[in-house]
Amino acid sequence: MKKLLLAAFLSVFMFGAAQAEDARAVIGQPAPDFTATDTKGNAQSITAYKGKIVVLEWTNPECPYVKKHYESSNMQNTQKAALDSGAIWLRVNSAAAGKQGHQTPAEFDATATDVTANIIDESGAIGHLYDAKTTPHMFVIDQAGTLVYAGGIDDKATSDPVDIASAKNYVTAALADLKAGRPVEVSQSKPYGCGVKYAD
Protein backbone atom coordinates (compact mmCIF):
# COMPACT_ATOMS: atom_id res chain seq x y z
CA MET A 1 0.00 0.00 0.00
CA LYS A 2 2.83 2.36 0.93
CA LYS A 3 4.53 1.62 -2.41
CA LEU A 4 1.32 2.41 -4.27
CA LEU A 5 0.88 5.69 -2.39
CA LEU A 6 4.51 6.62 -3.02
CA ALA A 7 4.16 5.82 -6.71
CA ALA A 8 1.00 7.91 -6.92
CA PHE A 9 2.70 10.83 -5.13
CA LEU A 10 5.72 10.68 -7.42
CA SER A 11 3.47 10.51 -10.47
CA VAL A 12 1.58 13.65 -9.38
CA PHE A 13 4.82 15.42 -8.42
CA MET A 14 6.48 14.61 -11.74
CA PHE A 15 3.38 15.68 -13.67
CA GLY A 16 3.36 18.98 -11.80
CA ALA A 17 7.06 19.49 -12.44
CA ALA A 18 6.57 18.75 -16.12
CA GLN A 19 3.68 21.20 -16.28
CA ALA A 20 5.80 23.89 -14.62
CA GLU A 21 8.66 23.21 -17.02
CA ASP A 22 6.31 23.25 -20.01
CA ALA A 23 4.98 26.63 -18.91
CA ARG A 24 8.42 28.24 -19.15
CA ALA A 25 9.54 30.22 -22.16
CA VAL A 26 11.24 28.00 -24.74
CA ILE A 27 12.27 29.09 -28.24
CA GLY A 28 10.07 27.42 -30.84
CA GLN A 29 7.33 26.64 -28.32
CA PRO A 30 4.12 28.54 -27.51
CA ALA A 31 4.95 31.62 -25.45
CA PRO A 32 3.74 31.26 -21.87
CA ASP A 33 0.50 33.11 -21.36
CA PHE A 34 -0.24 35.36 -18.43
CA THR A 35 -3.02 37.61 -17.24
CA ALA A 36 -2.03 41.01 -15.92
CA THR A 37 -3.48 44.46 -15.42
CA ASP A 38 -1.50 47.23 -17.05
CA THR A 39 -0.86 50.72 -15.67
CA LYS A 40 -4.10 51.96 -17.24
CA GLY A 41 -6.20 49.26 -15.61
CA ASN A 42 -6.61 47.21 -18.78
CA ALA A 43 -6.28 43.42 -18.90
CA GLN A 44 -3.26 42.14 -20.83
CA SER A 45 -2.36 38.65 -22.00
CA ILE A 46 -0.42 36.99 -24.79
CA THR A 47 -3.42 35.13 -26.18
CA ALA A 48 -5.31 38.42 -26.58
CA TYR A 49 -2.83 39.32 -29.34
CA LYS A 50 -2.79 36.07 -31.28
CA GLY A 51 -2.40 36.90 -34.95
CA LYS A 52 -0.03 39.77 -34.14
CA ILE A 53 3.68 39.93 -33.39
CA VAL A 54 4.33 40.71 -29.73
CA VAL A 55 7.51 42.15 -28.24
CA LEU A 56 8.14 41.89 -24.49
CA GLU A 57 10.70 44.26 -22.97
CA TRP A 58 11.94 43.93 -19.40
CA THR A 59 13.11 47.29 -18.11
CA ASN A 60 14.45 49.21 -15.13
CA PRO A 61 14.82 53.01 -15.52
CA GLU A 62 17.73 53.17 -13.09
CA CYS A 63 19.85 50.60 -14.93
CA PRO A 64 22.72 52.16 -16.95
CA TYR A 65 22.17 49.62 -19.74
CA VAL A 66 18.54 50.67 -20.01
CA LYS A 67 19.58 54.32 -19.90
CA LYS A 68 21.96 53.63 -22.79
CA HIS A 69 19.06 52.64 -25.02
CA TYR A 70 16.53 55.22 -23.77
CA GLU A 71 18.73 58.30 -23.48
CA SER A 72 19.99 57.67 -27.03
CA SER A 73 16.38 57.06 -28.22
CA ASN A 74 17.45 53.66 -29.56
CA MET A 75 14.75 51.84 -27.59
CA GLN A 76 12.07 54.37 -28.56
CA ASN A 77 13.07 54.09 -32.22
CA THR A 78 12.90 50.30 -32.00
CA GLN A 79 9.50 50.51 -30.32
CA LYS A 80 8.16 52.92 -32.95
CA ALA A 81 9.35 50.80 -35.85
CA ALA A 82 7.72 47.74 -34.31
CA LEU A 83 4.44 49.52 -33.61
CA ASP A 84 4.38 51.11 -37.07
CA SER A 85 4.71 47.63 -38.56
CA GLY A 86 1.63 46.48 -36.62
CA ALA A 87 3.40 44.71 -33.75
CA ILE A 88 2.38 44.89 -30.10
CA TRP A 89 4.92 46.13 -27.53
CA LEU A 90 4.53 45.28 -23.84
CA ARG A 91 7.00 46.74 -21.32
CA VAL A 92 7.38 44.84 -18.04
CA ASN A 93 8.94 46.07 -14.80
CA SER A 94 9.52 43.16 -12.40
CA ALA A 95 11.36 45.14 -9.71
CA ALA A 96 9.94 44.30 -6.30
CA ALA A 97 8.80 46.95 -3.83
CA GLY A 98 11.82 48.54 -2.16
CA LYS A 99 14.18 47.40 -4.92
CA GLN A 100 16.02 49.54 -7.45
CA GLY A 101 13.80 50.42 -10.38
CA HIS A 102 10.47 49.80 -8.64
CA GLN A 103 7.89 52.31 -9.91
CA THR A 104 4.33 53.41 -9.45
CA PRO A 105 2.09 53.17 -12.54
CA ALA A 106 2.43 56.92 -13.16
CA GLU A 107 6.22 56.76 -12.85
CA PHE A 108 6.39 53.80 -15.21
CA ASP A 109 4.16 55.49 -17.78
CA ALA A 110 6.32 58.61 -17.67
CA THR A 111 9.33 56.66 -18.93
CA ALA A 112 7.58 55.56 -22.15
CA THR A 113 4.01 56.21 -23.23
CA ASP A 114 4.21 55.28 -26.93
CA VAL A 115 3.93 51.53 -26.40
CA THR A 116 0.95 49.19 -26.33
CA ALA A 117 1.02 48.76 -22.56
CA ASN A 118 3.18 49.03 -19.44
CA ILE A 119 2.90 46.21 -16.91
CA ILE A 120 4.16 46.33 -13.34
CA ASP A 121 5.08 42.79 -12.28
CA GLU A 122 5.90 43.51 -8.64
CA SER A 123 5.53 39.85 -7.61
CA GLY A 124 7.93 38.77 -10.34
CA ALA A 125 5.50 36.12 -11.58
CA ILE A 126 5.70 37.13 -15.24
CA GLY A 127 9.45 37.66 -15.06
CA HIS A 128 10.01 34.19 -13.65
CA LEU A 129 7.62 32.70 -16.21
CA TYR A 130 9.85 34.06 -18.98
CA ASP A 131 13.07 33.65 -16.98
CA ALA A 132 13.82 37.33 -17.55
CA LYS A 133 17.33 37.85 -16.22
CA THR A 134 18.39 41.36 -17.16
CA THR A 135 17.20 44.82 -18.03
CA PRO A 136 16.78 45.04 -20.86
CA HIS A 137 15.78 41.47 -21.75
CA MET A 138 13.81 41.12 -24.97
CA PHE A 139 11.37 38.49 -26.26
CA VAL A 140 9.61 38.29 -29.63
CA ILE A 141 6.48 36.20 -30.18
CA ASP A 142 5.20 35.50 -33.68
CA GLN A 143 1.67 35.70 -35.04
CA ALA A 144 0.96 32.09 -34.07
CA GLY A 145 1.95 32.74 -30.45
CA THR A 146 5.32 31.01 -30.72
CA LEU A 147 8.38 32.41 -28.97
CA VAL A 148 10.88 33.10 -31.76
CA TYR A 149 13.48 35.31 -30.07
CA ALA A 150 14.86 35.78 -26.57
CA GLY A 151 17.94 37.70 -25.48
CA GLY A 152 19.61 41.08 -25.69
CA ILE A 153 18.35 43.95 -27.77
CA ASP A 154 21.58 43.85 -29.76
CA ASP A 155 25.07 42.35 -29.96
CA LYS A 156 26.96 45.11 -28.10
CA ALA A 157 26.89 44.15 -24.43
CA THR A 158 27.99 47.52 -23.09
CA SER A 159 26.40 50.53 -21.42
CA ASP A 160 28.09 52.94 -23.84
CA PRO A 161 25.65 54.62 -26.30
CA VAL A 162 28.50 55.00 -28.81
CA ASP A 163 28.27 51.26 -29.49
CA ILE A 164 24.68 51.47 -30.74
CA ALA A 165 25.64 52.72 -34.20
CA SER A 166 27.67 49.59 -34.98
CA ALA A 167 25.37 47.14 -33.20
CA LYS A 168 23.08 44.58 -34.78
CA ASN A 169 19.60 45.10 -33.35
CA TYR A 170 18.30 41.57 -32.85
CA VAL A 171 14.72 42.71 -32.20
CA THR A 172 14.52 44.72 -35.40
CA ALA A 173 16.09 41.83 -37.31
CA ALA A 174 13.61 39.32 -35.87
CA LEU A 175 10.67 41.54 -36.80
CA ALA A 176 12.03 41.93 -40.34
CA ASP A 177 12.40 38.16 -40.69
CA LEU A 178 8.83 37.59 -39.52
CA LYS A 179 7.42 40.26 -41.83
CA ALA A 180 9.26 38.68 -44.77
CA GLY A 181 7.98 35.22 -43.87
CA ARG A 182 11.48 33.96 -43.07
CA PRO A 183 12.57 31.96 -40.02
CA VAL A 184 14.18 34.23 -37.44
CA GLU A 185 17.89 33.98 -38.19
CA VAL A 186 19.10 34.73 -34.65
CA SER A 187 16.53 33.23 -32.30
CA GLN A 188 18.53 33.48 -29.09
CA SER A 189 21.34 35.56 -27.67
CA LYS A 190 22.80 36.18 -24.26
CA PRO A 191 20.88 38.97 -22.52
CA TYR A 192 22.97 41.73 -20.98
CA GLY A 193 22.32 44.52 -18.52
CA CYS A 194 21.42 44.82 -14.84
CA GLY A 195 19.94 41.82 -13.08
CA VAL A 196 16.16 41.96 -12.65
CA LYS A 197 15.48 43.13 -9.07
CA TYR A 198 13.13 40.36 -7.98
CA ALA A 199 11.81 40.00 -4.45
CA ASP A 200 14.14 38.03 -2.14
Domains recognised in the chain with CATH numbers: 25-195 (3.40.30.10)
The predicted model gives 22-33 an average pLDDT of 88
In the chain, the percentage of residues whose pLDDT exceeds 70 is: 88
- Residue 23: pLDDT band with limits 50, 70, 90: low
Give residue 24's pLDDT: 81
Total-model pTM: 0.88
Q: Is residue 14's pLDDT more than 60? A: no
pLDDT of 3 above 60: no
DSSP state string for the chain: -HHHHHHHHHHHHHHHHHHHHHHS--TTSBPPP--EE-TTS-EE-SGGGTTS-EEEEE--TT-HHHHHHHHTTHHHHHHHHHHHTT-EEEEEE-PPTTSTT---HHHHHHH--SSSEEEE-TT-HHHHHTT--EESEEEEE-TTSBEEEEE-SBS--SS-GGGGGG--BHHHHHHHHHHTTPPPS--B----SEEP----
Q: Which pLDDT belongs to residue 5?
A: 32
The model's confidence at residue 103, banded by pLDDT at 50, 70 and 90, is: very high
Q: For residue 2, is pLDDT > 50?
A: no
| Residues 59-81: tens digit of each pLDDT | 999 999 999 999 999 999 999 99
Q: Is the pLDDT of residue 195 over 90?
A: yes
- Mean of the pLDDT values across residues 93-122? 94
Please tell me the least confidently modeled range out of 21-25, 55-59, 135-139: 21-25
pLDDT at 161: 96
Q: Is residue 20 predicted with pLDDT exceeding 60?
A: no
pLDDT, mean of residues 98-109: 94
